[in-house]
Structure 1
Amino acid sequence: MIHELFLAPLAETYFQKALIGGSIVAVVAGVVGCLVILRRMAFLGDALSHAMIAGVAGGYLVMKMLFGLEAHAPGMLFGSLLAAITTVALISFVSRISRVKEDTAIGIMYTGVFALGVVAVSIFRHYIHIDLMHFIMGDVLGVADSDLWVSAVAGAVVLSVLILFFRHFQLATFDPVMAASIGLPVLLLDYLFTTCVSLVVVSAVSMVGVILVVGLLITPAATAYLLSDRLDRMMMLAALFGVTSVVGGLYLCVWLDSAGGGAIMLFCTLQFLVVLVLAPKYGLIARWLRLRSLIPQQVVEDILTTILRYGKPTPLAIIRTYVESTRGLQKALLRMERDGLLLRSAEGYRLSEAGEKEAGKVLRAHRLWETYLEAIGTPAEEVHATAHHLEHLGGEAVDYLDEKLGNPEVSPHGKTIS
């Protein structure tokens, strides 16, 4: 059973080539994809892969008409790379000299260049014999030796550039202003990076198709992003997730007798969803546990001011009476006691020194809001209740209010504002 499921496919040449080629693409695409998603350029990979059809058509046509060569791989590769770089240059030009934002420019340019490719293929259909469905979907199970060499050379070039300029790309990605201020050529780095993305896309599309190359560029990197806060570790995880997607997808393809590219992308997406749920820091379960343990700040502040106004150890019954929301009250009291805001005794709860300081801030905010509400003509019977809701807007809002009111010393009820 194990032999038939796992070992038998490995003995097949087509499976071995698909595994090697797909893994090369997955590693390079995963590493580059980390910078793509951190720079919020996910749409760019899709744009380049679609725009490539114009380059493929142009390269095919030139080699056919000038040299009589049918489906000449180097010519089509060069045409694809030229189309990708031209698309990037047009996107950059339009976004820099007009009001149109970069994402809009990407949408305009890549659809335009893609349409140019489709029109060229249809006009010169007697000379160009390109299967558009194969171009979009790919055929990872029909990898040729030339495809392996192209992807290996392109991958080596791209990884070499990323290793040599890793620190430069890292700084330009996270803080381009600082990178420019210390003399790094940020614009040149951007063009170098987009050229690397173009090379990855161009070298992989003929083997895995448009859909899969975009998926391998984005999904493994996004999966790694959920598990790491460091770029170098994120890149290694992205490469690993890319390879596991290829391996798992190819086995899935053989077991289900389905399309190779679709199976790889399905496995890749399922892998992302599993990590999305289970990631220890950024997963859905971790997020739910954090939300469950959160205590509303309003409850904390109501407890503090209730004990401060009571002026002596306060029983739980009194706190429960004056705290507006009693949901999670016991948990809030335990957390505040653990954080050093409250001290518990047989008579009840009292404030620590830190607790008195925090309670004083809330009380000051309450009295300032009362003063402001009276100044704008709020009915006297509504002043206290309204201020009770507004007092939780602390920080800069309270400091601004104090300055606007001229630093009052007494509230409308004769209480000192300290």
Structure 2
Amino acid sequence: MFDLFISPLTETYFQKALIGGSIVAIVAAVVGCLVVLRRMAFLGDALSHAMIAGVAGGYLVMKFFFGLEAHAPGMLLGSLIAAISTVALISFVSRISRVKEDTAIGIMYTGIFALGVVFVSIFRHYIHIDLMHFIMGDILGVADTDLWVSAFVAATVLTILILFFRHFQLATFDPIMAASIGLPVVFLDYLLTTCVSLVVVSAVSMVGVILVVGLLITPAATAYLLSDRLDKMMMLASLFGFTSVVGGLYLCVWLDSSGGGAIMLFCTLQFLVVLTVAPKYGLLSRWIRLRNLIPQQNIEDILTTILRYDKSTPKNIIAKYVETGKGLNRALRQMIQDNLLLEKNSYYTLTEKGLIEAKKVLRAHRLWETYLEKIGTPENEVHPTAHHLEHLHGKETIDYLDKKLGSPKKDPHGKMIPE
């Protein structure tokens, strides 16, 4: 068991993959938090696909003008230009036409991706790019150049995020306020897009076009389930990005599988575990909340039962008229905590707040009875029907009923309608 964990760490390829993958995953996760909060996930996919045109262009320029092949800085610059051009075209199309931004993204990124594929096929004698490698990546074959490029990009992007953190935060959560106080919102949008482009370009050679989007989105989405603060979310996202790389690489070695695929599989499993057990937004906590939820109808039935009883009411009387099943005790405890009831020796009375709420429901009940009697509802159906309708006691609804009926003082049974 010890060798399963230690043996891979002695291999150079594993060490490089671990270092390079961790750098990419951490910076992608941090930027991904802003991408997730701004609902820009599709844009990351667009940039990753569009950059093949930039890679092809950069390859041709370096080949024809400098006689160099597979020159990483040249292809990085070409990819960055392609990514920024894609964003500019998307913005242009969505602004000057009725086509929405998500549709413009789909049109532009597929078009530029297709342009890159055509370039690669036309100049196949000059461009030696393995499209399968480009799409799927090869994290176990990380070159020293890839490590240096990813480290430089990570340092640049993280520096920008630290310097402009407050600006990005305000522009993300309240862009109108950000613009009103003079922040350059459009510049910040393009700056963030440039950061995303840099991260995508630096990560594609390791994990490929498809999986880079996962590293950008999934750790950030996992952190989003655990935090309501952007700074904490970014720290958690970077942690999840790092653990995805570590866990994925071990999976890759143990199962003899694709490196990028194993990383994203581990990353997705992490997300599913957090989605299940997250203390506030997880499925388990949601199920517990729903299980403990007391229907408003039951609370209102308890209030009106005590109001009609007109004195301290024992639990057995409440149980006789309120269909709460085993939840009666929980409902009564909750109502005491909400200052609707007072309890003494298992007898319950309404507080001032509870009395107001009870009278609202009773007023609605008697107005509904009056309305039902007026439209010709059979006498034996008036009360049970009004019992269901009394829970529709919104102010506008009841005011409309009261006005429609001419502000009656008594219901059809001669009982006073509360003011």
Distance 1:341 1:89, change over 3 A: same
SS in 2 for 1:349: strand
Does structure 2 conserve the Cα–Cα contact (< 8 Å) formed by 1:313 and 1:347?
Answer: no
Partners of 1:279 and 1:286 within 8 A in 2: yes
**Who is 1:27 aligned against?**
26
Identity %: 77
Counterpart code for 2:417 = T
Alignment of 1:134-153 (within 5 A): 134-153=133-152
Deviations 1:334-353 (A, max 9, x none): 32233332233457432222
Q: What is aligned with 1:200? A: 199
Match of 1:86 in 2: 85
Q: For 1:335 and 1:219, locate their aligned partners in 2 and report how far apart those are by CA, in whole Å.
A: 38
1:416 corresponds in structure 2 to 417
Equivalent position of 1:9 in the other structure: 8
- Counterpart CA distance in 1 for 2:390 and 2:113 is 57
CA gap of 1:37–1:405, structure 2 versus 1, over 3 A, is same
Question: Structure 1's 135 and 257: CA in aligned 2 closer, same or farther, altered over 3 A?
Answer: same
Match of residue 220 from structure 2? 221
The separation in 2 between residues aligned to 1:128 and 1:407, in whole angstroms, is 85
Q: What is the SS of the residue equivalent to 1:350?
A: strand
Asked whether the 8 Å contact 1:365–1:398 carries over to 2, the reply is no
User: Counterparts of 1:78-227 in structure 2 under 5 Å?
Assistant: 78-227=77-226
Deviations 1:41-94 (A, max 9, x none): 111111110111111112112222333322222221111111111111111112
* Deviation at residue 217 of structure 1 after TM alignment: 0.5
Post-superposition Cα deviations, 1:252-292, rounded to whole Å, max 9, x if no partner, equal 11111111111111111111111111111111111111111
Letter in 1 for 2:168: F
Match of 1:293 in 2: 292
Q: Secondary structure at the match of 2:349?
A: strand
TM-superposition CA deviations, 1:386-412 (whole Å, max 9, x none): 333233234444465368548825254
- Inter-CA distance 400–231: structure 2 relative to 1 (3 Å threshold): farther
| Cα distance in 2 for residues equivalent to 1:172 and 1:351 | 48
How high is the TM-score relative to the length of structure 1?
0.93
Indicate the SS of the match to 1:343. strand
Query: Partner residue of 2:350?
Result: 351
Q: Secondary structure at the match of 2:251?
A: helix
Shift of the 358–43 alpha-carbon distance from structure 1 to 2, 3 Å rule, reads same
1:212-251 paired onto structure 2 within 5 Å:
212-251=211-250
Which stretch shifts more, 359-368 or 340-349?
Answer: 340-349
* In 1: Cα distance, 2:361 partner to 2:98 partner: 46
Residue in structure 1 matched with residue 260 of structure 2 by the alignment: 261
Q: Provide structure 2 residue ranges, at least 5 long, that are not aligned to the other structure.
A: none
Q: Which amino acid aligns with 2:321?
A: Y
Give the Cα separation in 2 of the matches to 1:314 and 1:157: 70
Instruction: After superposition, give the CA deviation of every residue in 1:103-139 in whole Å (9 maximum; x if it has no partner).
Output: 1221111111111111221222222221111001100
Equivalent residue letter for 1:64? K
In structure 1, distance between residues paired with 2:250 and 2:33 = 26
Q: Which runs of 5+ in 1 are unaligned?
A: none
Alpha-carbon distance, 1:383 to partner: 4.2
> 3-state DSSP class of the match of 2:266?
helix
| Distance change (3 Å), C-alpha of 1:108 and 1:372 | farther
Distance 1:333 1:242, change over 3 A: same
Whether contact under 8 Å (2:45, 2:213) holds in the other structure is yes
Measured in 1, the distance between the counterparts of 2:320 and 2:402 equals: 34
Per-residue displacement from partner, 1:317-350 (whole Å, max 9, x unpaired)? 3323322554522321232233332233457432
**Alpha-carbon distance in 1 for matches of 2:399, 2:153:** 58
Higher mean C-alpha deviation, range 91-100 or range 163-172: 91-100
Mark the CA change 1:355 to 1:88 in structure 2 (over 3 Å): closer, same or farther.
same
Partner-residue secondary structure (3-state), 2:313: coil
Structure-2 change in CA distance of 1:265 and 1:332 (3 Å): same
CA 1:410–1:99 in structure 2 vs 1: closer, same or farther (change >3 Å)?
farther
Alignment of 1:308-323 (within 5 A): 308-323=307-322
**Whole-angstrom distance in 2 between the partners of 1:368 and 1:29:** 60
Q: Distance in 1 between matches of 2:286 and 2:373?
A: 42
Q: Which amino acid aligns with 2:308?
A: R
2:29–2:241 CA contact under 8 A, matched in 1: yes
1:279 matched residue in structure 2:
278
SS in structure 1 of the partner of residue 392 of structure 2: coil
CA distance in 1, matches of 2:347, 2:97: 67
Distance 1:183 1:403 in 2: 50
- Secondary structure, aligned partner of 2:342: strand
TM-score w.r.t. structure 2 length? Answer: 0.93
After TM superposition, give the deviation of residue 245 of structure 1 in Å.
Answer: 0.7
Seen in structure 2, the aligned counterparts of structure 1 residues 404 and 104 have a Cα distance that, compared at 3 Å, is farther
Partner of residue 379, structure 1? 377
CA contact (8 A) 1:34 1:221 kept: yes
Deviates more, 1:329-338 or 1:279-288: 329-338
Count of aligned pairs between the two proteins: 416
CA distance in 2, matches of 1:172, 1:408: 51
Task: After TM superposition, give the deviation of residue 208 of structure 1 in Å.
Answer: 1.9
Letter in 2 for 1:320: A
Cα RMSD over matched residues?
Answer: 2.1
Deviation at 1:146, TM superposition (A): 0.7
Q: Distance in 1 between matches of 2:193 and 2:395?
A: 42
Q: Identify which range, 241-250 or 87-96, moves more after superposition.
A: 87-96
Partners of 1:137 and 1:209 within 8 A in 2: yes
Residues in 2 aligned to 1:124 and 1:411: alpha-carbon distance in whole angstroms = 90
Shift of 1:149: 0.9
Q: 1: CA distance between counterparts of 2:406 and 2:92?
A: 53
Change (3 A) 1:113 1:394: farther
